[in-house]
Every structure is written in structure tokens, then in C-alpha cells.
Amino acid sequence: MSVFEQLGLGKLDTHFWQLLASAAFIHFVFLAGGWLSRSNPHYARLTPLKKAAWCIHIVSVVFSVIICTASAPIFFMPELEADRLFGYSYYAGSVYAFACGYFLWDTVISIYYIKESGLGFVLHGVTCFFVFLLSFRPFLQYFGCVFLMFELSTVFLNVHWFCDKTGRTGTRLQWINGIFLITTFFSVRIVFGFYQSYRYFATCYALWDIVPKHLFYFYATADTILCSLNLWWFWRMIQSITSRFKGEISEADSSYDKTHKKAAGAVETDKTK
């Protein structure tokens, strides 16, 4: 009997190497993000902590795109649909191993940069890591992709962040991205997320006699907290986005264009000297 089987994570023995490879890949993206951004004037002006935050947001974009693309097929896997509680799929296990690798890295990097990230991000990383780690019992592999699809809105959230850090606050680009951000966040995290939470509770209720009670309460607590946070974050997100557009969008775009035209003119003048 392997160590993972003794821990009650029987399927992790098959996917552990993928978890480690995922963490290594994510850290490579983090380092590559800094290297590729070194010539960016906005990045160059940042403090070391802010540069780390810049690279973390690059990692977040890459992870979000990969994990959302990879998670979608899990909804349509017959072996998981047939047994939503204890079903297992090698493909789903590989996706969750990639997610575990990311959240393991996220936890470590949040601890390392805790002055920038704060304790909240550390707790978020730890919680998400164990949420997907426990799927290797196996348990709830069918529903695991629901939480991963939440990352779809994270793509637009990161674009919003980069707009603020590159002098594009209040521009038409940020306005359009804000519409996509609010739409995807509401659709994926609120409508879709709450509906899938209902399905999770309904499934567990129908099979209550065979549901591991400690795991049910763990996931039920995590789900309730996350749904509550999604409502809070949605409200705060609307406030944050609307606060950036008190003036006319066209004026913001014009100001941005003028600034960069002046900068370009200064460069040309310098070249002629």
C-alpha cells in the first residue's frame, strides 16, 4: 500500500508527478513573465514587491486560460456523470493535479510575499489546494470543475489590473474589459455557481447514507463561504469599476493618447540630437 493510499488519496499515486510538474511549470511562467517584462517601462518603474505582483498576475492569466479550457470537458464525461460522488476519470485527475500544483505554488509564493499579498491569499491558496487534493480519494470529481470554471472571470480581472498599472485607467479598453468582467463574473460565479451548488447539495441529500459526512461538511462550508464571497466581490467589483469612469470615456482615451504622443515626440526629438 502506497503512502497516498494510507492517507486516503488512492488516485494521487497516479497523478502526483503531474502535480509537481504543474508547480514547476507555474514557477517557470512566473520567472519568464519577469524576464519578458524587463524592457516594459511600466514594469521597470515598479518596486521589487510590485514587480512580483506583476508576474503573479501573468501567472494567473496563463493558469486561468489553461484550466478553464481543460475543465470544460469534465462536465460531459459519462463515467463522472454516472457517479457524481465517487466517479473517477484519469483526465479529470490530471486537470485537478494541474490545479493542485498551481495552488501549492500560490500558497508558497503568497507566504514568501505575504507583505504584498496578505494572509487572506495564503488561506485562499491552502483551502483551494486541499479542496482539489481531496478529489483524489476519489470524491466529487464531477463537481470539481465547477470551481475551476470560476477562473474564467479572473482573466478579465487581471486585464483590469494591468490597465491600472499601465496608465490605462478610465480608458475605453478598461471600460469594455469591465463589461466582460462583470458579465462573466455574474454568469459563471453567481448564476452557474449557485446552480451547481444546489446540484451538489441535492446529490448529497439523495445519497446521504453513503456520503462521507466529514467531507460533506468540509465542502459544504467551503462552498458556502465561496458563494458568499462571490456576492461580496461582485458588489465591490461594480463599485471599483464604476469609480474609474466618473468622467467621459472619450476624454480619458484622449488624455491617454496625448500623453503617449508627447512621449513619442520626445523620443523622436532625442534621436535627432
CB-CB contact of 63 with 117 (8 Å)? no
pLDDT digits (tens, 9 = 90+) for 29-47: 999 999 999 999 999 999 9
Backbone φ and ψ for 178, nearest 5 degrees, come out as -60, -35
| Domain presence at residue 166 | yes
Position 100 scores a pLDDT of 97
Cell of 67: 484550466
Domain hosting residue 154, numbered range = 150-253
Residue 270, in any domain of the structure: no
Kindly report the average pLDDT of the chain as a whole number: 88
User: What is the dihedral angle through the alpha carbons of 234, 235, 238, 239, rounded to the nearest 10 degrees?
Assistant: -140
* Predicted pLDDT at 21: 98
Residues 18 and 110 in one domain: yes
Instruction: Give the CB-side neighbour count of residue 115, counting CA atoms within 13 A.
Output: 5
Q: How far apart are CA 187 and CA 185, in angstroms?
A: 6
Grid coordinates representing 66 are 489553461
CA–CA separation, 188 vs 151, rounded Å? 9
d(CA 193, CA 230): 9
Q: Are residues 128 and 196 in the same domain?
A: no
Q: Above 60 in pLDDT, residue 260?
A: no
Q: Which of 121, 148, 175 is the last residue of a domain?
A: 148
User: Do 61 and 107 reside in the same domain of the chain?
Assistant: yes
pLDDT of residue 141: 95
Q: Are residues 144 and 187 in the same domain?
A: no
Do residue 71 and residue 172 come from a single domain? no
Supply 59's cell numbers: 501567472
67 with 105, same domain? yes
Q: What is the mean pLDDT of residues 245-273?
A: 45
Q: Is 248 exposed, middle or buried (0-12, 13-18, 19+ CB in 10 A)?
A: exposed
Contact 73, 91 (CB under 8 A): yes
Residues in the chain: 273
Q: Is the domain of 177 the same as that of 71?
A: no
Rounded to the nearest angstrom, the gap between the alpha carbon of residue 262 and the centroid of all alpha carbons in its chain is 37
Please check whether residues 60 and 7 belong to one and the same domain: yes
The angle at the Cα of 145, spanning 141 to 148, to the nearest 5 degrees, equals 135
**Last-in-domain residue among 148, 171, 187:** 148
Cβ neighbours of 138 (radius 10 Å): 23
Residue 272 belongs to some domain of the structure: no
Do 139 and 236 have their domain in common?
no
In this prediction, residue 253 carries a pLDDT of 46
One domain, residues 89 and 165: no
- Residue 60, in any domain of the structure: yes
How much of the chain, in percent, has pLDDT values that exceed 90?
A: 69
CA angle 222, 123, 26 (to 5 degrees): 105
Query: Is 263 within a domain?
Result: no
pLDDT at 251 over 60: no
Residue entry with cell 498576475: 57
What is the domain count for the chain? Answer: 2
Boundary of a domain, candidates 115, 148, 181: 148
Residues 182-228: tens digit of each pLDDT = 999 999 999 999 999 999 999 999 999 999 999 999 999 989 988 98
Based on the fold, state whether residues 137 and 184 are members of the same structural domain. no
Instruction: Confirm whether 232 is domain-assigned.
Output: yes
Domain-embedded: residue 165:
yes
> Rounded to an integer, what distance in angstroms lies between the CA atom of residue 266 and that of residue 90?
58
Give the separation between CA 189 and CA 213, rounded to whole angstroms: 26
206 is a domain residue: yes
Q: How far apart are CA 54 and CA 67, in angstroms?
A: 20
**Whether residues 98 and 67 fall in one domain:** yes
Question: What phi and psi, each to the nearest 5 degrees, are found at residue 112?
Answer: -65, -40
